[in-house]
Structure 1
């Protein structure tokens, strides 16, 4: 909901545009850092409890900027909102613990699709709320809905009896948090700082150094934050790799579609839509994700989640290739974005099922949290790549003057060129195609292992309380 209003925040808070971008960056950082921590705690102290903690962070973070109306409060609030991303992996693990096995695939598909549905609805909704009650409304409305959900979870959702024992790995959490913060800072700010600048290179180096310390430590500790022995199993490792690729491909769709539709219609490849109208153009994709979630569950139940991942990634790749050719009307752009969203819904529904086939029941939340983390790294990378392409490949006044009598206004001199969008679409198609290849490499679950039918292998550890 913040994205459409982002250009207004420098004026609202009296800050520079690059400072206002922290309202996006801080959420990406806390989502990436908080998801594995909350997911691991969910396995240890209770999934329902950590759902409530995530919602409490989101409600507090949403209300804080509206109450304070200062830039510092908005940054802190947006940071707290990022912890709510953990709702998805923790919620999916709860579905697995409580639902009949035959319903897990469908429920997981629908819950995974809510990521796309929420994103699609938020874009036009933010503009409507801003016009009706002001910018504070984009924080008050999530706070109100979050509070309702917090009460509903407390009343309706049962706690899971599945727990893992041991102590929380605080030192491992500190090392991983530092590494992820440095990595995502370098990815998200590298374009502004300069990719070869000392600051960017030093931040990448810090991330690598912390990971070099963290990996052997996690292998030695009794109760690791991330069980690397489980995470390096071929099915889990390849699924996480696919998650990063799909995250890249998915996020490019959202970034590119709205920007292309908002380009001035004086450009041959522009359509001159308002922020709100461009947001409405994303709604068909969000609705398609909800409609196709039963289809992805059908594929999973009949052919397995590996096939589901391949089909979804293939749909994304073909849709992006088509978008490089069919970009001459709003209808075709919306249709292309919708098919990318359909592929996204299918792939997102498959990955939690692949993870749950390959990890002990007591590690479901933390394993899904790591998968979400890899997806976040993919989306952050997509944001950096798309920004680099759209700023490097621009239309100049000289390029347009030949096709327009009377010259070109100076404001059009540095807008993204058609080739920038096509290159980004090819990059997204390539990421989706690689995800297809990864899907083919994922081994089928061994006979007698745990799969969609809910069988539990002998190495699952259930706590005495369960």
Structure 2
């Protein structure tokens, strides 16, 4: 009792002992693991779907909204920035006030954005709508934290794997679906579809998912939220506009320097905060820092696969290497990459249970590295492009399954949502870097054929080589983690050696509570 009382006072945690009503009525009402996993995974897929659904429509938006290409690009930029800001804030609030509650808030914002976008005929309302929908990005990291709280230990690897897979599963499904919408419906139907899907997800969460009693307590770090939001916005905006402005242009350099300076101030502020938005002491632990570095690199490799492959499939045959497919055809050939995430989830979960999270992360990174090396030389035939994309998808599936488990094994139980939120944010940074790299290479390296400019095939060769190098580095940073974890132990089955942590993950009756790391 003394240790638990000390942990509660230090971290502001609620009493982990279930109340009599919770013990009987709560356990009887607890959903089956499969139902909980399915509900959260479907919601994650819906969120990922709405993130990507607008991308194929973007080239036609300037004409549809009677605006410039630069202004229309804000439809995507606003979603990216909103997601980057909302992930750390809402995930921290989830740890403090309830994970189910914050998922419902995020999905409600997604529905409001869908309705606003469906009714809009001008640029500004459409941008606001997409910004509101960007808040739903946080559903995946909070959903992973809920699984850790609610699932039996032996089901956590499968649940986390499926939840992580939704990031690519929804993106893969969005590409052909967007093609169908563009061909047969008004473009604003995208907003209505996401609104309806959001309502269904909201009702499913309310009806099926229980609220976890694990809370961190404390007060919200408003200064940390302001600094982190400003820093991330400056850096991501510089990444998204670097190709257009020039990577060495004054605006790009100014935004980059401002973002880095704000991050430095954020670290100093968070070290002094009683309940920091970002627990810097925990974040610099090797078990957390190395996984977050791998997250940036794997996010780069994942998005390079999605964007690079789509461009290869849609590139004109006049370029000498393109396959000349339209949006719908290219989306259908990308579907196997998205489906492999879901199909590979049980395999990845078995690998984690048998060999450990570290081995899964290392193996997935090596699969991506080897595949990307092959894609440098084998990317001219349709079967080569599709097979290469699917193999990268298998590697990404393994890394995405392992990283949340490794993060949760290295942080207090009361910080799982916020720690996974930061990991997801860094993955988004990696994706933004990949998007910038694709745009820069395909703009700089071009060939002119019959008076028409096309990206040179060398641009894709260099892109895949960079992705291979990123995957190799991700594998290298995993090696120190191999020494810290015993084979065959998933994160959900290991005790955390952090000071003040008390672990137990086998249901409500022995739910774990940790004090806030200081």
TM tier relative to shorter chain: over 0.9
Distance 2:426 2:64 in 1: 34
Bigger Cα displacement from structure 2, 15-24 vs 98-107: 15-24
Give the TM-score of the pair, scaled to structure 2.
0.85
Classify the secondary structure of the residue corresponding to 1:415: strand
Report the equivalent of 1:425. 464
Among residues 269, 279, 300, which one is paired with 1:227 in the alignment? 279
Report the equivalent of 1:402. none
Distance 1:309 1:421 in 2: 26
Distance 1:343 1:23 in 2: 31
Classify the secondary structure of the residue corresponding to 1:396: strand
Structure 1 residues 304-324: Cα deviation after superposition (integer angstroms, max 9, x where no partner): 111000111111111111112
* 2:81 pairs with 1:29: yes
Among residues 380, 386, 391, which one is paired with 1:328 in the alignment? 380
The alpha carbon displacement at 1:181 in A equals 0.5
Given that 1:90 and 1:365 are in contact with CA atoms closer than 8 Å, whether structure 2 keeps it comes out as: yes
The alpha carbon displacement at 1:130 in A equals 2.3
The alpha carbon displacement at 1:444 in A equals 4.4
* 2:189 pairs with 1:137: yes
The alpha carbon displacement at 1:419 in A equals 0.5
Among residues 72, 82, 101, which one is paired with 2:134 in the alignment? 82
Among residues 122, 142, 146, which one is paired with 2:174 in the alignment? 122
Distance 2:460 2:415 in 1: 41
Report the equivalent of 2:478. 439
Classify the secondary structure of the residue corresponding to 1:266: helix
Report the equivalent of 1:44. 96
Given that 2:165 and 2:397 are in contact with CA atoms closer than 8 Å, whether structure 1 keeps it comes out as: yes
Given that 1:358 and 1:445 are in contact with CA atoms closer than 8 Å, whether structure 2 keeps it comes out as: no
The alpha carbon displacement at 1:242 in A equals 0.1
Distance 2:190 2:245 in 1: 30
Given that 1:306 and 1:444 are in contact with CA atoms closer than 8 Å, whether structure 2 keeps it comes out as: no
The alpha carbon displacement at 1:455 in A equals 4.0
User: What root-mean-square deviation, in Å, do the aligned CA atoms of Structure 1 and Structure 2 show?
Assistant: 1.6
* 2:145 pairs with 1:105: no
Distance 1:353 1:16 in 2: 44
Distance 1:103 1:330 in 2: 38
Distance 1:105 1:299 in 2: 9
The alpha carbon displacement at 1:28 in A equals 1.2
The alpha carbon displacement at 1:443 in A equals 4.9
* 2:488 pairs with 1:451: no
Classify the secondary structure of the residue corresponding to 1:419: helix
Given that 2:356 and 2:490 are in contact with CA atoms closer than 8 Å, whether structure 1 keeps it comes out as: no
Distance 2:212 2:392 in 1: 35
Structure 1 residues 164-184: Cα deviation after superposition (integer angstroms, max 9, x where no partner): 111000011001100000011
Report the equivalent of 1:201. 253
The alpha carbon displacement at 1:154 in A equals 0.4
Report the equivalent of 1:250. 302
Structure 1 residues 345-392: Cα deviation after superposition (integer angstroms, max 9, x where no partner): 111000000001111100000000010011011011111111100101
Distance 1:420 1:287 in 2: 27
The alpha carbon displacement at 1:89 in A equals 0.5
Unaligned runs of 5+ in 2: 1-52, 503-511
Given that 1:299 and 1:308 are in contact with CA atoms closer than 8 Å, whether structure 2 keeps it comes out as: yes
Distance 1:273 1:450 in 2: 42
Bigger Cα displacement from structure 2, 60-69 vs 85-94: 60-69
Unaligned runs of 5+ in 1: 398-407
Among residues 419, 424, 435, which one is paired with 1:372 in the alignment? 424
The alpha carbon displacement at 1:82 in A equals 1.2
Report the equivalent of 2:43. none
Given that 1:282 and 1:334 are in contact with CA atoms closer than 8 Å, whether structure 2 keeps it comes out as: yes
Distance 1:443 1:200 in 2: 39
Structure 1 residues 402-430: Cα deviation after superposition (integer angstroms, max 9, x where no partner): xxxxxx1x2x2x21011011000101111
**1:446/1:396 CA distance change after superposition, 3 Å:** closer
Q: Map of 1:313-352 to 2, 5 A cutoff? A: 313-352=365-404
* 2:423 pairs with 1:381: no
Distance 2:337 2:491 in 1: 30
**1:36/1:197 CA distance change after superposition, 3 Å:** same
Bigger Cα displacement from structure 2, 235-244 vs 136-145: 136-145
Distance 1:445 1:33 in 2: 32
Among residues 333, 339, 351, which one is paired with 1:287 in the alignment? 339
Bigger Cα displacement from structure 2, 289-298 vs 450-459: 450-459
Bigger Cα displacement from structure 2, 317-326 vs 44-53: 317-326
The alpha carbon displacement at 1:31 in A equals 1.1
Q: Map of 1:289-308 to 2, 5 A cutoff? A: 289-308=341-360
Give the TM-score of the pair, scaled to structure 1.
0.94
Given that 1:264 and 1:270 are in contact with CA atoms closer than 8 Å, whether structure 2 keeps it comes out as: yes
The alpha carbon displacement at 1:432 in A equals 0.7
Report the equivalent of 1:272. 324
**1:445/1:97 CA distance change after superposition, 3 Å:** farther
Report the equivalent of 2:312. 260
Distance 1:219 1:456 in 2: 22
